[in-house]
Homo-oligomer: A and B are copies of this chain.
């Protein structure tokens, strides 16, 4: 039996309306009454019931954030941006991990709608995002990350994955590498599949060819990178550099190669994509293609709030996040030792 507005009104000897008005400073109230109200609030430790307010005003000041895995540093950065900028604007965020499960995405989408969040930031785990349609049609603003939903009026944030792959590969080519392997994502349908296309294009333009045996697939995690690197070595083909479709796999590959006696970058150069936090802390630090994460999170919720508060009513905006090559320690010019193989220890 928590304290309600009535209790305060009673003690202060005013109407509930007056209490509401002083709490919200939403109309002029005489100093005397104001003081009596504030005193009563203070004394009783009154905390206005936001649930009731939300029902009445039809505003929850809450948004939902759906990510595949909030403990993945990449998404954690985005989430932090969302939370920070949301806080500034007076919005709370409900954190939802889909764990890359479509089912769970659906459950959460329903839940968020039911809780009447005023907007949703959706980082879908698969390209199959049509599930979002009913929500969008119901009129609640949505921002989608890294996915394209043709024919849907939503703001989207994404990077040019093709360009990312292209930039990374081009960098290796400019360093003089000719035999450049590629660690691909498990499924070409994933967003980072396009990164591989960028890789191919860069090779093409340089008059180089790509070979299936030098393009093993991984599961997008560190473990997948390890397995892929093993395949690469097992193929027996020469290579002096690797483009990995993401940092996690690049890091896995680094570990395996080192375990097999290769030195990085002396024997093989590696470039990733994403610039996850781990990338700065490998030894040597990983050269990668950076994209904004925290900032993207901030911007996403700002877009959302713009729509929520009716500040932006035009058609969908598609933001292309800026990417850039961050040269660190894993990529060096091709030299005679680049393809040297150490004896396995």
**84-104 of chain A: CB within 8 A of chain B:** 84, 87, 92-97, 99, 104
CA distance A185 to B116 in the complex (A): 44
Q: Is the CB of A51 within 8 A of B47?
A: no
Digitize A275-309: 1 where CB-to-B-CB distance is under 8 Å, 0 elsewhere: 00110011100000000001000000000000000
Is A274 in contact with chain B by the CB < 8 A criterion? Answer: no
Q: Which residues of B sit under 8 angstroms from A83, Cβ to Cβ?
A: 70, 95-97
Digitize A138-169: 1 where CB-to-B-CB distance is under 8 Å, 0 elsewhere: 10000000000000000000000000000000
CA distance A76 to B278 in the complex (A): 14
Q: Which of A2, A52, A70 lies at the interface centre, i.e. has the most chain B CB atoms within 10 A of its CB?
A: A70
CB < 8 Å neighbour of A71 from B49, B80, B99, B258: B80
**48-79 of chain A: CB within 8 A of chain B:** 48-52, 54-55, 60, 62, 65, 69-71, 73, 76-77, 79
Q: Which residues of B sit under 8 angstroms from A93, Cβ to Cβ?
A: 94-95
Q: Is the CB of A95 within 8 A of B97?
A: no
Q: How far is the CB of A51 from chain B (nearest CB, A)?
A: 5
Q: Is the CB of A87 within 8 A of B76?
A: no
Q: Is the CB of A116 within 8 A of B278?
A: no
Q: Which of A73, A134, A258 lies at the interface centre, i.e. has the most chain B CB atoms within 10 A of its CB?
A: A73
Is A39 in contact with chain B by the CB < 8 A criterion? Answer: no
Name A112's closest neighbour in chain B (CB-CB): B92
Q: Is the CB of A114 within 8 A of B73?
A: no
Q: Which residues of A contact B (CB under 8 A)?
A: 2, 45, 47-52, 54-55, 60, 62, 65, 69-71, 73, 76-77, 79-80, 83-84, 87, 92-97, 99, 104, 110-111, 113-116, 134, 138, 251, 258, 277-278, 281-283, 294
